[in-house]
Structure 1
Amino acid sequence: MGIRDELVARFFRYVAIESQSNATSTHLPSSPGQLELAKLLAEELRSLGVDDVVVDEQAIVMGVKRGNRSSAPRIGFIAHLDTVDVGLSAVIRPQIKRFEGRDLCLNPAKDIWLRIAEHPEIIPWQGEDIIVSNGTSVLGADNKAAIAVIMTLLARLEPSQPHGDIFVAFVPDEEIGLRGAKALDLSRFPCDFAYTIDCCELGEVVVENFNAASGEIVFTGVSAHPMSAKGVLVNPLLMALDFMSHFDRSDTPECTEKREGYFWFKDLVANDSEARLKVMIRDFDKSKFEQRKQRIGEVVERIASQYPSGSVQYSVADTYHNIGDYLQGDNRSAELLFNALDRLGIAKKLTPMRGGTDGAALSARGLPTPNFFTGAYNFHSRFEFLPVPAFEKSYETALMLCTLGAEHDSDGQRA
């Protein structure tokens, strides 16, 4: 079996296991399919001769492929087990279509089409095989394409091929707060630096991402019958609306791009007595990020003074931080990645990621972890697609990182 066929076969096998994360669950993993997939991967790792393979009850899988260059840096690769829940089916039915420059029919029975006019990003892949879903779910290249890349890398490394120790980890629930990466025992993952393979199109590289926090504001009103409500009733829903009115309407996800931050008021549940408002806070700049969190508290105080017989309470907690803040003191991982892309002739596309990856949590914990491409497009969409040649290039990049790593010592100097 060639590399292309192996990548595709592994991808199809992994997406066949339903592993959609569940944000309403407080358990790790949040869904049973993630543990099922974790156990499968652990078995495959052992069959490939990977050492020290462990899988725990939290669906965290770890192992190490011992190297033959003791002076080389110890490199880690990380992928997440869960697929995202965006209200579509958890069942993924992948298929390969040849793109001949015409709209692709994903599902004839439901008349679901990937149309070029709506997704011109597919145009450069004319004449190539494209992996798509049947339109009722996401494809799951986020992040099972990465799992396939890592497993194929481990299967294909020849004993004679120079490489240092290669650590691998598969973690649950990236899509709902990087929970698995935060729980990963780094004492059992002692690499010098690592990579997540968790961004999109060919050449994409992430060495900076949003700082992120989530908050909840609770408005407690005073209920009263309308016949005696004057001067008594305090409507918590109106308190919440007044709160949101103090924020710039253009300072939102749908009105910002690139490195622009935002507030995202994304959930409001209210009754006569109480309203609970959830907010997501994002900014690349650390000082602006702190100012945004402070802004929540300032507006809370204003609303509390406006409604003295009601009350307002709030909480804000950091979710993840900018990878770039942690790579400044140790750029070996980024430099090795850039060199690998140069060696392969892949133009790098430095992408300020308007989101987070497991690498954000791991970098903040002291493990520098940049992110590079799976080759897929349109993550979190029924129109997610994965050009097979781009998928292969993701594998080649992982392999080149190991090859170039063997040419250097752990300090990043050429051996």
Structure 2
Amino acid sequence: MIDALGPGPDRRRSHLQGRPISGLTGAVVLGLVLAGCSSAPSTASGNDSIAQPGATSTTDSRALPPESTESSSPSPTVDPAVEQAAACVQSAVEALSPAERAGQLVMAGTPLTDADSVVSVMRKNHLGSVFLHGRSGRSAAGLKQEINRLPSVRAGDATIEPLVSIDQEGGAVQSLRGGRWGTLAKARVQGTWSTARLSRMTGIWAKQLSRAGITMDLAPVADTVPSGTERRNPPIGVFGREYGTDTTTVSRAITTVTTALEKNKVIATVKHFPGLGRVTKNTDTSSGVVDTRTTANDAYLRPFQAGIDAGAGAVMISSATYRRIDPDNRAVFSSKVITDLLREQMGYQGVVMTDDVGAAKAVTDVAAGQRAVRFINAGGDLVLTVPSDQARTMMVAITKKAAVNKNFSKKVDASVTRVLTLKQKAGLLTCGKNQN
């Protein structure tokens, strides 16, 4: 999206890099939640009937049970803090009404110059996330005052604060600019910096975002644009939004930026999976955007893997169609892309979100409510609509589908669990005595 411009416990070998893939920080919590938070240690096997060395057994060996082939070592203990966190997430999910659960899966746009104008929409539709769109040089203090007026949701003894996101990449895509915000170089320039400089500069503007009350950056861009094709790639290359023209350079930058954002308490969103670097149309302004080259084992997926390994809190899905992965569905509606490739093959268990599906031309042939339903059904979690008037349609569609389809209802619960796990990591979900 160009606004205003037109590891968990399951570790597997990476098919891209030949090394273990680690999921999102907090996936352990998610795993515990989905597993029901069971952490009872296994009981020690009885040794009373086994003769000690040098002793004579008086027990008939035929009456003994067969020897266990399993290790007799005790099960690893679970950190009480992790258990408590998982229990908090689970209890919050269970306390939410169906409409409130659906609301946690919708992110609505609101003007950066009037951030709290979305309050009534949020309250009416139980929305759990907002996106600040537009351009402004306003002060961090003034912006934070408005963000502080955005409503939270009560779920039992839990308080759930909203995610507040923004596009702050650099270059043409820098929503907060001028004054103390300064001017951020475009990613193509950032990609030429040393790792130390890139980390330091990212840390500076991440701290600025955090001080303003912004908890999520819809960055970094992990798309690689082949050298010489930049002018033929309208969503990324034309604006220099790519960190480089080879996957090694881009992967290094994605690792650095993701790490720096997360370290400074801003959720990193790696985008636009599985890549917009080789398309010739912009999904915001055109329909029928097709990638004919990217495969499920493509080297161009490496920067996305780098972001996952670095602990990115979210991955944004492209709205283009990838003919060599799923020719029948746009990525945002494709279980082959979201579930099979991103979650299972690449091991990512964190929050998956859409690019804008409220106004983007790439999805206008699908009814607004169905855009949300189809995305969640494919394995996604968080639906972004820049026009806030689409939020209710999407929330209602999710709620109605979950009421009549048990399988979809389970997917909604899993998505809400992932979103709340991410919020807890960001300090936006607190339970009982843990609340400030």
User: TM-score if structure 1 supplies the norm length?
Assistant: 0.28
* Larger proportion of strand: 1
* Larger proportion of helix: 2
User: TM-score if structure 2 supplies the norm length?
Assistant: 0.27
